[in-house]
Amino acid sequence: MTQDLKDKVVIITGASSGIGAACARLLAHQGCKLTLAARSVDKLEALARELPAETLVARADMTAPADIEAMIDATLARFGRIDILFANAGIYVPGEFGDGDIDALTRMLAINVDAVLRCAHRVIPQMQAQGSGDIVVTSSISGFIDVHWEPIYSASKHAMQTFVHTLRRQLAGDGIRVMSLAPGQVANALWGFHDAEDIARVSAGERTHLTSEDCAEALLYMLSQPRHVTIRDLVILPQNQVNI
């Protein structure tokens, strides 16, 4: 029997586009109540208007700890609980480390690692008090292999994998599941795909990329499992991704 997600309160970071927006659309149709968090309020409000769900729009810069605190506080004030944290916000900076912009690279670590830690740390006491909860982190295939053309991005996702695996063991007795969703190449704005025809070409046609909707379906699968089942890591790859 799968878990019913109706009325579950979900925080989605990085919800203004890509995987975050696709997950918001899918979870809204499952009856979830959503906090949509990102820097782009206009995009969040446009998304909220199209969703058949109770939503809270939270402007949150994941490099600003005060924004993360405000996002959690606003969710609790509005909904009274937090059932699911989908720590999805992330950025990508590839290239040779020696030639890279060190400020951009350390900012990537702040968003891909530090922000996830802060979000999880803030929701854990609430989940422990209610005796249940799910924390899902958007990781990457780069967290499972060493990708030489993206050393700091790969390092950030390796960090997330270790975090998920160890935190899961710490919280297992509290009824809290900790899980990693790790996609391969995804055709969305983060990777420079904006046109629907281009997305269809590389996903349904060439099959070298996933879509954001593929990732949303994977998240739904993870969250829908009965409480005694934890999908610790779910790695999904496009059929024809051959560069790893």
Query: CA 38: distance to chain centroid?
Result: 12
Residue of 79, 86, 153, 193 with catalytic role: 153
CA 238 and chain centroid, separation: 18
> Cα 87 to chain center, whole Å?
4
Calpha distance 131→114 (Å, rounded): 25
CB contact at 8 A, 94 and 44: no
For residue 122, what are the CA distances in angstroms to 66, 115, 216, 221? 12, 11, 24, 25
Question: If DSSP codes are grouped into helix, strand and coil, which group holds residue 243?
Answer: coil
Sheet holding 55-59, edge to edge: 55-59, 33-38, 9-13, 84-87, 133-138, 176-183, 233-236
- State the Cα torsion 76-78-81-83 to the nearest 10°: -110
Residue that is written with structure tokens 């292999």 in the block: 145
Instruction: Examine the residue annotation and report whether 153 is marked as an active-site residue of this protein.
Output: yes
Instruction: Kindly list the catalytic residues.
Output: 153
